[in-house]
Amino acid sequence: MKEIVLDTETTGISVKDGHRIVEIGCIELDNLVPTSNKFHYYLNPERKVSEKALEVHGYTDEFLAEQKKFHEIVDLFLEFIKGKKLIIHNAEFDLSHLNNELSILGKKKINNEVTDTLTLARDKFPGSPVSLDALCKRFRVDNSKRTQHTALIDCDLLARVYIHLIDQKEPSLNFENQDDHVSDIKNLNISYFKKIVSPTLDEIKKHKEYLKLNLKKNFY
């Protein structure tokens, strides 16, 4: 089964504030193995990047002004993800921005099957940190190249984390054949020998002397 690990970077958090996508990264998995098929574009958001977003990904307005616009790559993007399950960390964020870009162009929302690894991680590790960095640390995935958030590097890390997440298996007890197992134990023919060792007269004498000396109440 082919799946797409997807990540975006944006000018800011909310589409309600007019923020746009500045980078899309996708890596294809075939039966959980990354293939050579990748999709990656920097995008001109046609607006300024917020200061907080700049701190996160480092893409300047000058750099992004020279990139393609979303409408120039949208068909390539939709073809790349067509019919494939999407693997996204915090899917609500990325999908809100992708669907906003599609809405601007009068196109339909993404209707692919989606696995949100953030939800998956919260279910598996309730109460624990579940950021991408935290999950990399938990699964010992090397994220030393992630000095800033970049879509393609994040996709590569998420692909490895995702494989760990779905391979995690809690130990289970199988009681299905418990009665049969107990019956088998009862029917086992176990033979053993008991060897009774009797104390000598001298040992009995010393034992009585010990009791007289050490017990407050003398029964002898």
Sign of CA dihedral 83, 86, 151, 92: positive
Phi/psi zone of residue 159: left (φ > 0), alpha (ψ -120 to 50 degrees), beta? Answer: alpha
149, 164, 181, 207: which one is catalytic? 149
Query: Among candidates 183, 188, 142, which has minimal Cα distance to 161?
Result: 142
Bridge partners of 6?
26
Q: Which two tokens stand for residue 56?
A: 């996160």
- Contacts for 19 with CB less than 8 Å, ≥ 6 apart: 10, 11, 12, 13, 45, 47, 50, 53, 97
Annotation says 149 is catalytic:
yes
Q: In 14-157, which ranges are E strands?
A: 21-30, 33-42, 85-88, 114-116
For 32, the 3-state DSSP assignment is: coil
Considering just the CA atoms, what is the radius of gyration of the chain in Å? 33
**Residues that are catalytic:** 149
